[in-house]
């Protein structure tokens, strides 16, 4: 695919995600996209054979106030690395008759904690959170990876809110002035754990996966109103994780070299920030961006984050799990 086709649209420079990942694709050695298959999927989407995703409120806390904003800040602070380490059982919870794991399990566990009167939405509590506190909050069975890092992140979240925003999440959102892109930048600047970048061939690559998800989650939870009203959701890109590449690979859009494919299929760990891992994430972002452009050209306007939601939902189906996802132990996704 020519590099000219991978041109960032006007206005996208606000986050730097498309620009920096474009450079990765131009130099990529282990990952590539099949544009023919990508175009076929985009045309299928434009014909309406794939359903447009909506917001599922069942597992999320929502009261329409800044408490909801803080809930999503806490949720997306911990929104990473849900796959089980070798030799351990997957972490999961029982919630209203369902067995949940991953993002929905985390969302429901935190919602239950709030509804039970636990102080998980109090910055002072977060700032002093212990490992035992966190394990008690989440509950469930099995092992959730990176628990020490998760506790440290929540303490950081509480401390930053107290020291920089007087414990008020509204003071974090207000300077964004209704801009999702501005909110992503503000969150990444304020909270070190949200600064999702890497270095590839000596150049900084920006992903901002969890910060972008926070903006999209607020939009979804508030129905595009109040604290979820953003005028520039088109600035958001895909949220580069491990589930979307699995789906895109199943669809034949994302392809790996033989060496990388064998590593992933053997469940070998990829080092965070390694060239292979950065290439997978960069191609994920651009696969979604190109699907967005082609569906728009075919007459359907759908944003990159909505395509992300659609693909992520597909990834919850067994049919899209025939080949494993890549495994990287990281706090970023």
Contact yes or no for 288/304 (Cβ under 8 A): yes
DSSP assignment string, 173-189: HGGGTT-HHHHHHHHHH
Q: Beta strand 92-95 with 98-101: parallel, antiparallel or unpaired? A: antiparallel
Angle between helices 147-165 and 66-77 (to 10 degrees): 140
SS3 category, 15? coil
- Tell me phi and psi for residue 196, to 5 degrees: -90, 90
Q: Is 133 a catalytic residue?
A: no
Residue from 196, 241, 308, 318 carrying the catalytic annotation = 241
Cα–Cα distances in Å, from 309 out to 70, 199, 302?
22, 27, 11
The one-character DSSP state at 201 is T
Which tokens sit at 130?
């212990």
Which residues are identified as catalytic? Answer: 241
């Amino acid at each position: 695919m020519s590099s000219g086709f991978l041109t960032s649209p006007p206005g996208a420079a606000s986050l730097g995600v498309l620009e920096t990942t474009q450079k990765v694709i131009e130099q990529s050695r282990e990952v590539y996209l099949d544009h023919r298959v990508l175009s076929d999927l985009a045309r299928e989407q434009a014909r309406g054979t794939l359903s447009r995703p909506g917001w599922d409120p069942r597992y999320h806390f929502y009261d329409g106030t800044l408490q909801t904003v803080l809930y999503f800040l806490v949720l997306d602070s911990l929104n990473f690395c849900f796959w089980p380490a070798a030799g351990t059982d997957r972490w999961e919870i029982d919630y209203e008759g369902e067995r949940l794991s991953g993002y929905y399990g985390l969302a429901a566990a935190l919602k239950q904690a709030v509804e039970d009167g636990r102080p998980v939405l109090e910055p002072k509590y977060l700032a002093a959170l212990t490992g035992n506190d966190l394990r008690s909050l989440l509950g469930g069975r099995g092992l959730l990876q990176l628990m020490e890092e998760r506790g440290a992140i929540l303490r950081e979240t509480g401390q930053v809110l107290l020291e920089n925003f007087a414990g008020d999440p509204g003071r974090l959102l207000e300077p964004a002035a209704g801009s999702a892109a501005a909110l992503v930048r503000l969150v990444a600047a304020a909270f070190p754990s949200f600064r999702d970048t890497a270095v590839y061939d000596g150049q900084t690559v920006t992903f901002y996966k969890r910060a972008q998800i926070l903006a999209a989650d607020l939009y979804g939870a508030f129905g595009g109103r109040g604290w979820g009203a953003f005028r520039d959701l088109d600035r958001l890109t895909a949220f580069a994780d491990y589930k979307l590449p699995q789906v895109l690979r199943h669809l034949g859009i994302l392809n790996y070299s033989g060496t990388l494919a064998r590593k992933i299929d053997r469940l070998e760990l990829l080092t965070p920030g390694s060239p292979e891992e950065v290439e997978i994430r960069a191609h994920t972002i651009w696969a979604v961006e190109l699907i967005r452009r082609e569906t728009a050209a075919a007459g359907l306007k759908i944003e990159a984050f909505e395509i992300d939601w659609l693909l992520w939902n597909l990834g919850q189906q067994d049919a899209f799990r025939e080949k494993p996802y890549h495994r990287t132990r990281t706090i970023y996704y």
